[in-house]
A = this chain, B = another copy of it.
């Protein structure tokens, strides 16, 4: 269990004075133009659906924006606070979490690069969970995605993609409840690793079952509803059995079919292909 001390630390770009924010945005923008010649978002969405030129242009524009940067343990959203604008994670991991008065914390979802934060269509929305950066997280504002979702007339494929990702998120959340309620520690971690592998590989962030996995054992514990000690012992058992390698924030799933089987991981199937 993590005794959560609410330490905000230095949050860049977001929730800082305008003057500083703009300066940092410029730096970030400059950096992204030089180093982040990334087409990560374009790749992600083009894998979700065939986009029209208009839609692809929206994605390119969003992707070219300045980054908001959050340091580990900074809050990206706070439960109950108003959501200003939707963002998309360009790099880094975050955790959607809830906590109890005595400090017990439950992570209810992992936010990976390419995931949206605060993308919801109701008016004046409040955050339903607290979103905390696990690593350094870089996001871009993406109000256009909300527009495209709510009014799909000119952006049907983009809207369909967002429908799909929203439904997949719901699928993972149901799977999370299943894990927490009815699976053993070993099964929970197996299931979790398979989910992460599946989600990352579809974004080109995992190859051959091996990927960057920047969660500490305490974070894994808060996801899996376990204690750190038990997570540690379970991981070692998986290592002993030759099913994973995990060191220096890098996870290699050596026996993916095996882990999928013991964890009973089922990839999301949320809709039939358009006829």
Cβ 8 A contact of A108, one of B96, B177, B269: B177
Let me know if A146 is at the binding interface, CB within 8 A: no
Let me know if A29 is at the binding interface, CB within 8 A: no
Let me know if A24 is at the binding interface, CB within 8 A: no
Cβ 8 A contact of A177, one of B106, B163, B166, B264: B106
Pairwise interchain contact B108-A178, C-beta atoms closer than 8 A: yes
CB distance from A33 to the nearest CB of B (A): 36
Contact with B along A98-127 (1 / 0, CB 8 A): 101100111010000000000011111110
Pairwise interchain contact B178-A122, C-beta atoms closer than 8 A: no
- Range class of the A interface residue count: 35 or more
In the assembled complex, 28 residue pairs joining A and B whose CB atoms fall closer than 8 Å, in A order, are: A1-B182, A98-B174, A98-B175, A98-B178, A100-B182, A100-B264, A101-B264, A104-B183, A108-B178, A120-B163, A122-B163, A122-B167, A123-B163, A123-B271, A123-B274, A124-B271, A124-B272, A124-B273, A124-B275, A125-B167, A126-B271, A126-B272, A128-B174, A128-B270, A129-B174, A173-B173, A177-B177, A182-B225
A108 contact set on B, CB distance < 8 A: 174, 177-178
A48 contact set on B, CB distance < 8 A: none
The residue of chain B having its C-beta at the shortest distance from the C-beta of A268 within the complex is: B128
- Known A80-B269, A100-B183, A271-B123; contact A128-B167, beta-carbon cutoff 8 A: yes
A41-96 interface with B by 8 A CB criterion: 80, 82, 96
Give how many copies assemble into the complex: 2
The residue of chain B having its C-beta at the shortest distance from the C-beta of A82 within the complex is: B272
Contact with B along A163-186 (1 / 0, CB 8 A): 110110011011111101111000
Let me know if A160 is at the binding interface, CB within 8 A: yes
Bound-complex Cα distance A224 to B182 (A) = 9
The residue of chain B having its C-beta at the shortest distance from the C-beta of A188 within the complex is: B181
Bound-complex Cα distance A183 to B105 (A) = 10
A101 contact set on B, CB distance < 8 A: 264
Cβ 8 A contact of A120, one of B98, B100, B167, B175: B167
Pairwise interchain contact B126-A270, C-beta atoms closer than 8 A: yes
Bound-complex Cα distance A155 to B128 (A) = 25
CB distance from A127 to the nearest CB of B (A): 9
The residue of chain B having its C-beta at the shortest distance from the C-beta of A172 within the complex is: B128
A104 contact set on B, CB distance < 8 A: 182-183
